[in-house]
Chain A
Amino acid sequence: KQEVTQIPAALSVPEGENLVLNCSFTDSAIYNLQWFRQDPGKGLTSLLLIQSSQREQTSGRLNASLDKSSGRSTLYIAASQPGDSATYLCAVPDSGGYQKVTFGIGTKLQVIP
């Protein structure tokens, strides 16, 4: 059974700081890994999807890396802004063709102006 852990659970940083969010998973036989953003009271928005054959994926100030062998992914946010304040979740599919995707509990990020 796939297990996903995100550390830290919460993070508070001053505006402009670069930061790294971590995600670890137990079963490395994955198709891909996704990072989502969730604003309070809202649904999830996909930020980046990294295929198992890729090592990195970038979108604007966001960069996600994937190391399947060690069961880890990081989300790097450059020059953080107050608008980046949200909960960030990573999600990993279960192997074996089942539709199930295992989500982490998330890291709650607060960027202080």
Chain B
Amino acid sequence: NAGVTQTPKFRVLKTGQSMTLLCAQDMNHEYMYWYRQDPGMGLRLIHYSVGEGTTAKGEVPDGYNVSRLKKQNFLLGLESAAPSQTSVYFCASSYSPGNTDTQYFGPGTRLTVL
């Protein structure tokens, strides 16, 4: 049981480049989330999904897009990276809504945008 996995672990981009972060979970969870963590700030919700084929905006969605084509996968895309998107990105999943249930986190992706 791998839990929640994220790829890649590290990435360096130049301003304007695009990339996709992949999150996979093997716990058959309906709910999945993308957060970013920045120094001096708590985790902030970017986008979330309440089931296969659904996505919704979180607290800081601008500059990001997501897709949930398969229940086990949740993709986070950056179409045109900006230095302000330098951060550590975490994916999480839960069986029930995240505001009522434990969220299980992946190990994170450290992204640097030059």
Contact residues of A with B, CB < 8 Å?
4, 31-32, 34, 36, 41-46, 49, 89, 93-94, 97-106
State in angstroms the CA–CA spacing of A4 and B43 once bound together.
Answer: 11
Q: How many residues of B are in contact with the other chain, CB < 8 A?
A: 27
| Complex Cα–Cα for A42 and B40 (A) | 17
- In the complex, A32→B104 CA distance in Å? 16
Q: Total number of A-B contacts with CB less than 8 angstroms?
A: 61
Q: Within the assembled complex, what's the spacing in Å between the Cα atoms of A46 and B92?
A: 11
Majority-rule SS of B interface residues: loop
How far does the Cβ of A105 sit from chain B's closest Cβ, in whole Å?
5
B residues within 8 Å of A by Cβ? Answer: 4, 31, 33, 40-43, 45, 48, 50, 56, 58-59, 90, 92, 97-108
Chain B residues whose CB sits within 8 angstroms of the CB of A103 once the complex forms: 42-43
Given B33, B41, B102, which contacts A34 in the complex, CB threshold below 8 Å? B102
- Give the residues in chain A near B40, CB-CB below 8 Å: 105
Ordered nearest first, which 5 A-B pairs have the shortest CB separation? A93-B99, A43-B105, A103-B42, A44-B105, A103-B43
